[in-house]
Amino acid sequence: MTVTNDFNEVLLNRRSVKQYDTSVKISKEEMTEILAKAMRAPSTSNTQTYRFVVIDTPEGKEKLAKLAPHNQSQVTTSSAVIAIFGDLQASEKFEKMFSKTVELGFMPEEIKNQFQPMLMQRVANMSERELRDWVLTDAGLVAMQFMLVARSHGYDTNPMGGYDKENIAETFGLKKERYVPVMIISVGKAAAEGRGSYRFPVDEVTFWR
């Protein structure tokens, strides 16, 4: 596994890649490392509300291809496609996050005892819309970080929203009421370069106050 540490190289040469070298497989060990690095992304109160499904088997790819008719080459030629979901019941894991944070010496016990019930209360009082905004934001950040980490490992990616969001959770054995689909990301070794893409000048999208 070769890792590039040149951040500008990773950042400025990332392109959405549609065609991958089908002979390249990413091992479970390396994919786990890429995901763990992606998870260094910040999340709301460190709640890490995203969940991943790594689709890297022929059967999984076949099921996904049916859900993404406009993104066939990314699904069929990539080493894997990562389906990212937001977990609307992520609060089940808050206790573990707080306890581990205390155990590792990153938070005093008193702060946990104040903050954890407040956060649980906040979640309990939230509308589904607010909860969805929360998990979508966390998932967006981890998704971007995944793409950059993958590039640093020598792979390319393509984020995709063009798939059947109504059916993806259940197709992969997850409850659709609980897991909100965010995006799918193909990952693998590029067989054809991605096209360049235009960005607006910063001043056109920025309000300076």
The yes or no reply on residue 44 touching ligand FMN (CB under 6 A) is no
Residue with tokens 């890297």: 56
The yes or no reply on residue 183 touching ligand FMN (CB under 6 A) is yes
Going from the C-alpha of 182 to that of each of 72, 99, 188, the distances in angstroms are 19, 28, 20
The yes or no reply on residue 76 touching ligand FMN (CB under 6 A) is no
Number of residues counted as binding ligand FMN (CB under 6 A): 11
The yes or no reply on residue 162 touching ligand FMN (CB under 6 A) is yes
Closer of 34 and 183 to ligand FMN (Cβ): 183
User: Tokens representing 62?
Assistant: 């076949």
Q: Rule CB under 6 A: choose which of 37, 63, 99, 194 binds ligand FMN.
A: 194
Provide the minimum distance between the beta carbon of 78 and ligand FMN in the complex, in angstroms, as a whole number. 12
Q: Which stretch binds ligand FMN (CB under 6 A): 29-37, 49-57, 128-136, 160-168?
A: 160-168
Residue with tokens 């259940």: 170
**Please, are residues 156 and 150 in contact by the beta-carbon 8 Å criterion?**
yes
Long-range contacts of 114-122 (CB under 8 A, 24+ apart): 115/45, 119/45, 119/47, 119/91, 119/94, 120/91, 120/94
Q: Which residue of the chain is nearest ligand FMN when measured via CB?
A: 162
Q: Rule CB under 6 A: choose which of 71, 76, 79, 152 binds ligand FMN.
A: 71
The yes or no reply on residue 178 touching ligand FMN (CB under 6 A) is no
Going from the C-alpha of 26 to that of each of 84, 122, 150, 186, 198, the distances in angstroms are 18, 40, 10, 12, 30
CA 159 to chain centre: 9
Closer of 31 and 68 to ligand FMN (Cβ): 68
Q: Strands 156-160 and 50-55: what pairing? A: unpaired
Provide the minimum distance between the beta carbon of 147 and ligand FMN in the complex, in angstroms, as a whole number. 8
Residues at the contact surface with ligand FMN, assessed by CB under 6 A: 15-16, 71, 158-162, 183, 194, 197
